């Protein structure tokens, strides 16, 4: 599968998993339809989300909504516990009358970073996460009910106590396409092609041929399912690659531009500053100054 579209493998009979990441690790830009919660238990992690690099420190939680693109760079000596679950799990339990879209919106509108939550709310969420990780590790009799119970506790906290963002910030979100397997497979073909060829010139005709669509049909399909034109998406993808490179390697800007798929360092500098608000060099210095 494309690194940009992650489809988790579930070790349990239902769509939930929890695992620990230890030490320095780099996870490139990707997205998935599942909710992801990262609980940092030691050190810190630089998370790329919504056009920002956000530092998440020990004892903090960061949450990605369904379909939200992200990446992260963990520092040496850091530990994280990662939780992923499919929102359809709730329909399979007690809320069959609810729509998946309601839950997608619930997580999308909530504050992602626990630094914006009241202390007592953060403690409740962490208690749920620690209980979930314990059940995942032990798999004692009845673990299915214990895990689903804690996930329902989390959902209740999101309805009642997790603060909302002051405004719904636009992030790269693919939620509209998430419940159609054929659409996901089409998108994955596109993303895999981008992943393998983003350093080259990619025309609309070329990418349409890859999917078996006419250019006009492809343009409509892509805009409908991603909310962006293909060229907007490709530019955003290249900018994300550049931020990913800048956040963990100190390289000359001309090399960063080439590796991110820009045909000139001048174009790279202009597009990066227009989208991110600062120059690539200032962005790089801010990352290494904070580490």
Rounded mean pLDDT of 250-274?
92
Structure tokens at 63: 């949450």
Helix, coil or strand: residue 10: coil
Tokens of 112: 């992602």
Does residue 275 have a pLDDT over 90?
no
* Percent of the chain surpassing pLDDT 70: 87
Please tell me the CATH code under which domain 16-160 is placed. 2.60.120.280
- How far apart are the C-alpha atoms of 42 and 38, rounded to whole Å? 12
- CATH says 180-290 is which class? mainly alpha
* Gap between the Cα atoms of 150 and 14, Å rounded: 14
- pTM beyond 0.95: no
Which residue matches tokens 């990262």? 38
Comparing 16-160 with 180-290, is the CATH topology the same? Answer: no
- With bands split at pLDDT 50, 70 and 90, how would you rate the model's confidence at 27? confident
Residues 208-260 have pLDDT tens digits of 998 899 999 999 988 887 778 899 889 988 988 888 788 778 889 999 999 99
Q: Is the Cβ–Cβ distance between 207 and 193 less than 8 Å?
A: yes
Q: What would the DSSP string read from start to end of 48-71?
A: EETTEEEEEETT-EEEE-TTB-EE
Sequence spans of domains, the chain: 16-160, 180-290
Q: Is the pLDDT of residue 95 over 90?
A: no
Which secondary structure element, helix H or strand E, spans residue 106, and what is its range?
helix 100-109
Task: Report the share of the chain in percent with pLDDT over 90.
Answer: 48
Per-residue pLDDT tens digits for 104-159 = 889 989 999 999 999 999 999 999 999 999 999 999 999 999 999 999 999 999 99
- Amino acid 205: pLDDT: 94
């Amino acid at each position: 599968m494309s690194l940009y579209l992650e489809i988790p493998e579930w070790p349990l009979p239902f769509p939930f998993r929890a695992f620990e990441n230890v030490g320095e690790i780099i996870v490139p830009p990707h997205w998935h339809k599942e909710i992801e919660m990262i609980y940092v238990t030691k050190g810190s992690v630089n998370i790329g989300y919504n056009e920002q690099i956000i530092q998440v420190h020990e004892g903090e939680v960061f949450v990605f909504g369904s379909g939200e693109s992200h990446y992260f760079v963990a520092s040496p000596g850091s530990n994280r516990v990662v939780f992923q679950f499919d929102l359809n799990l709730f329909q399979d339990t007690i809320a069959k009358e609810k729509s998946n879209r309601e839950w997608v919106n619930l997580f999308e509108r909530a504050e992602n970073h626990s630094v914006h939550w009241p202390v007592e709310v953060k403690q409740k969420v962490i208690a749920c996460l620690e209980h979930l990780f314990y059940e995942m590790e032990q798999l004692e009799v009845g673990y299915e009910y214990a895990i689903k119970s804690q996930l329902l506790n989390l959902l209740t906290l999101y309805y009642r106590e997790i603060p909302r963002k002051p405004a719904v910030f636009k992030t790269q979100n693919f939620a509209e396409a998430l419940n159609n397997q054929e659409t996901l497979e089409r998108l994955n073909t596109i993303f895999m092609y981008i992943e393998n060829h983003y350093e080259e010139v990619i025309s609309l005709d070329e990418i349409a041929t890859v999917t078996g669509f006419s250019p006009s049909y492809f343009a409509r399909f892509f805009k409908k399912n991603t909310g962006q034109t293909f060229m907007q998406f490709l530019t955003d993808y290249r900018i994300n690659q550049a931020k990913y490179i800048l956040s963990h390697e100190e390289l000359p800007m001309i090399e960063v531009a080439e590796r991110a798929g820009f045909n000139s360092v001048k174009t790279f500098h202009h597009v990066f500053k227009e989208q991110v608000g600062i120059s690539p060099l200032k962005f790089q210095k801010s990352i290494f100054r904070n580490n």
